[in-house]
Amino acid sequence: MTSLGVPEIEAGWALFLDLDGTLLDIAPTPDAVQVPPGLVPTLAAVAQRLDGAMAIVTGRPRETVDGLLAPLAPAGGFGHGAVLRDAAGRIGGAEAMPAPPQDWAERLHASIAAWPGVILERKPHGLALHFRAVPERQQAARAALEALLAGHGEDFVLLPAHMAYEIRPRAASKGRAVEALMRTDPFSGRMPVFVGDDVTDEEGMEAARRMGGFGLHVGRDFRRGPEEVRAWLARAAARLPQGGQHAHA
């Protein structure tokens, strides 16, 4: 156990990790995140020791995650689970997901032109407005996205995030990613454990609990934030036996 009672990673787990605010420190803008030295080798080692049963489940697009974690290309759920990749590298899920109408980004660009400091992030299946630099624009950002959702509530939903609001397909969720990957090798038969820090991560944690596992929250369980999560992973990389030397839970 860690000093705060977080269990150390076990060989029979299926580990699901959020990215921003969990593995990476929150940055002023989405493009400004830094990947700490040693994180990618640590993730590769943990994945190997779990026989590949480690996934990154994030709101970020797959291409962005692969760029940040290169040369690692882990299993995962991207765009809040809109796109899935299994441990064998097979990609799917996106065909069932709607893309935002083309004019939505154009309308948001027009809105934020008068709001210096608000950043529009475009994703394959969603849009986000970040107001970290100008928190006084929180309600304006929310209202701009709500206006887009009028008449589209069956297909898309508004989500709160870290100093941001985001639109995603209603059918996408981090819980969907956990459930889908747990039906595939090498995740199947293991105990799912979801680690995250945000409102959307609660869906992944709930899915893990439904399937016999549990969730860990950065802030509640890892009081020192991503730094403590990275240290926890590094201990597992050093302590767990090489993959293939255990029986599944």
Instruction: Point out the catalytic residue in the list 18, 51, 86, 198.
Output: 18
The answer to whether 106 and 112 have CB atoms below 8 angstroms apart is no
Q: Which CATH number fits domain 102-169: 3.40.50.720, 3.40.50.2300, 3.30.70.1020, 3.30.450.40?
A: 3.30.70.1020
SS3 state of residue 39: helix
The residue among 199, 161, 157, 207 whose CA lies nearest residue 55 is 207
The residue among 155, 168, 161 whose CA lies nearest residue 125 is 168
Confidence class of residue 243 from pLDDT cuts 50, 70 and 90? low
Q: What is the mean pLDDT of residues 7-28?
A: 96
The residue among 47, 137, 127 whose CA lies nearest residue 85 is 47
List residues bridging with 158 in a β-sheet.
Answer: 167
Say which CATH topology domain 13-94+172-239 has: Rossmann fold (3.40.50)
pTM of the model: 0.88
18 is catalytic: yes
Is the preceding omega at residue 186 within 30 degrees of 0, hence cis?
Answer: yes
Q: Where are the domains of the chain?
A: 13-94+172-239, 102-169
pLDDT tens for 186-206 read 999 999 999 999 888 999 999
In this predicted structure, the answer to whether residue 163 has a pLDDT above a threshold of 50 is yes
